[in-house]
Amino acid sequence: MAYIVDLRSDTVTKPTEAMKHAMVNSALGDDVYEEDPTVNALETKVAALLGKQAALFVPSGTMSNLIALMVHCQKRGQEAFVGHMSHIYKYEVATAAHVAGVHLSVLQNKPDGTFDLEYLKSHIQGTDIHEPISALVTVENTHNVCGGKVLPLKFLDDLGAICKKHNLPLHMDGARLFNAAVQSKEPAARIVRDCDSVSVCFSKGLSAPVGSCLVGSCHFIEQARRIRKMLGGGMRQVGVLAAAAIVALDEVVPLLSLDHKRAQRLAMVVNGLFLKSFSVDVEGVHTNILFISISENSPFNAEKVVQRLEQVSLSETQGDCKTPDDEGIIVKCLALDERRLRLVLHREINDEALWLAIMKITYVFREMDAMGKC
């Protein structure tokens, strides 16, 4: 047997006991008729937290972002600006093109998740009949592929001013918005002040089983509700899921800082090993996501490291790399590309689980680093 520490994503989290209790005891109604009291309570709560007029509960973040694209870009072939490492561009199965008929124009993300605002201004289109009409700008906060980075407020303020000047709506993929709010010590409403729409997710670090909310003006949400139905997202007695999301906002959001601290601790440990094959940018770890870089000179790639972390060797169990019950340790993480590992801390990784992960990672990294020197 082996003890598994799952650091692949904060989507692996299970509902808390309080969530399960709330789900079983939730008041229910038909949400398509807007008669589910628990869903209505969640939507009111999220809209107030973000300083917007209304919200819409949807099954997933991918659907939430797609609905936003379809509301803002109402004519097929209109243009939405996205970061080249954004979730909308890389990980949503090209729904913008395939379903919405939206042309995505790519902006090069900087390491902190921002992009060049002057470049954006110079590429806003619509006067020439040969060009697509620019209709939307999107940002991601925190930025997943940039390592859980929190976008600077000044960048968001400057971007908001540009969007207003050019009459362009601004959408934020805020799947981990509350991580950004906790890290920056700014209210979520302040962060999204200049955004016309925001998507927030409950099934990542917030531990709810399903669901996201799309937030915006009353008119925007009225249109979004119709598109949700079009996409097959009209749900009935869905208060059983909304109940868990309400608990997530009340009880899990205040604990996100612990995930951030544990991510920092893990980054500092890896950095303190002083290995030639592995490195981590400790200062770049803002929230619960950290990347570990593998040297170009190493004879192994990220996938090989992932595979080794999921194996338990005899030498490990005979040494100190095991649990107090003499079980081996497996650490699950993701190979983001050939030379980067992604590890994500979440509510289910307590101090004990973190320590076991540190033991395993230290053992494997030293072992593989020695291989690289041979």
pLDDT at 1: 76
Q: Are 150 and 176 in contact (CB under 8 A)?
A: no
Q: Which of 227-241, 322-336, 340-354 has the lowest mean pLDDT?
A: 322-336
Same-domain pairing of 268 and 188: no
Same-domain pairing of 134 and 42: yes
pLDDT at 372: 64
CATH of the domain at 189: 3.40.640.10
CATH of the domain at 323: 3.90.1150.10
Domain count, the chain: 2
CA dist 175 and 163 (Å) reads 21
pLDDT band at 373, cuts 50/70/90?
low
At 161-217, the pLDDT tens digits run 999 999 999 999 999 999 999 999 999 999 999 999 999 999 999 999 999 999 999
Residue 195 C-beta-side C-alpha neighbours within 13 Å: 29
At 12-34, the pLDDT tens digits run 999 999 999 999 999 999 999 99
Extract the tokens encoding 108: 């090069």
Same-domain pairing of 105 and 204: yes
Same-domain pairing of 148 and 283: no
- What is the pLDDT of the chain when averaged over all its residues? 94
Q: Is the peptide bond before 142 cis (omega within 30 degrees of 0)?
A: yes
Q: List helix spans (H) across the chain.
A: 17-24, 37-49, 61-72, 87-90, 95, 117-122, 153-165, 177-184, 188-191, 218-230, 239-247, 256-272, 302-309, 314-318, 351-373
pLDDT band at 320, cuts 50/70/90?
confident
At 269-316, the pLDDT tens digits run 999 999 999 999 999 999 999 999 999 989 999 999 999 999 988 887
pLDDT band at 218, cuts 50/70/90?
very high
Extract the tokens encoding 149: 């980075």
pLDDT at 146: 85
List the Cα angle 351/22/178 in 5-degree steps.
Answer: 50
Same-domain pairing of 130 and 279: no
Report the sign of the C-alpha dihedral through residues 217, 218, 222, 223, in that order.
negative
Q: Which residue range is the domain that position 41 belongs to?
A: 15-253
Mean predicted confidence (pLDDT) in 233-247: 96
Same-domain pairing of 165 and 21: yes
Of 219, 253, 287, which residue sits at a domain end? 253
